[in-house]
Amino acid sequence: MNINADMYKQILYSPIILSIIIASLVGCDSGNNAKTSIISKAPVQKYEKTVTIKGVVRGEKGLIKAGKIKATSQTKVIATAEIEKNGRYTIHIPPKTQFPVLISAYPGDASKQKVLSVALVNAMLTNHDITPSSTQIAKAAKAMGGYSKENMFKAALGSVNMPDRDTSAAGFRGDPTKQFGGWH
């Protein structure tokens, strides 16, 4: 194959031209318009109207049948409610409330149970049970840097209890001829 001079120049200069085009598209912004960029922060999500959040409050010993519920946003109490005798709660979140919203249950019975909480990061969901698991997830997300959707997701994945190593077929590490009575 005979490569002529024009083809040689085309092959040689193609990566250079491509690099220049990419650099001009990406560019570096040293002007006064530094506020505009391709990657921007997500807008602050908030409730547009009054929203009713419902759920059950369950402690380590079962339903909690008395106590207070407080909803906070940006460390300000935005709503309060009472835990009903059947362990349920209903709380009304006012419009324009920014996420995240932390709903905390303060048991009022003589059981001396700890404060439980759940963090809300999504306006679509309105049913939230307040349990030791939801409290553990909220605490883990806060420790990761705050109640963002990403941190809540990571915290929820980290709180999943895995079965003991040798109690399921997936966790079996012994002799396969002895598992479930040997070969079938």
Note the pLDDT tens digit of each residue in 90-149.
Answer: 999 999 999 999 999 999 865 577 899 999 998 888 999 999 999 999 999 999 999 988
Q: Are 53 and 120 in contact (CB under 8 A)?
A: yes
Q: Which domain holds residue 126?
A: 51-131
State yes or no: pLDDT of 36 exceeds 90: no
Residue 67 lies in a domain: yes
Residue 106 lies in a domain: yes
What is the dihedral angle through the alpha carbons of 101, 159, 128, 79, rounded to the nearest 10 degrees? -30
Share of the chain above pLDDT 90, in %: 42
One-letter amino acid of 132: P
Query: Which pLDDT score is estimated for 103?
Result: 96
Residue 181 lies in a domain: no
Share of the chain above pLDDT 70, in %: 61
The total domain count for the chain is 1
Q: Are 52 and 71 in contact (CB under 8 A)?
A: no
Largest CA distance in the chain: 93
Q: What's the pLDDT band for 39 if we cut at 50, 70, 90? A: very low
Residue 29 lies in a domain: no
Residue 12 lies in a domain: no
Residue 34 lies in a domain: no
Residue 184 lies in a domain: no
Query: Which pLDDT score is estimated for 137?
Result: 93
Residue 162 lies in a domain: no
Beta carbons within 10 angstroms of residue 89's beta carbon: 23
Q: What's the pLDDT band for 160 if we cut at 50, 70, 90? A: confident
CATH at 82:
2.60.40.4130
Mean of all residue pLDDT scores within the chain: 77
State yes or no: pLDDT of 28 exceeds 80: no
For residue 102, the surrounding DSSP H or E stretch is strand 101-107
Weakest mean pLDDT among 6-15, 33-42, 156-165: 33-42
Query: Which pLDDT score is estimated for 47?
Result: 86
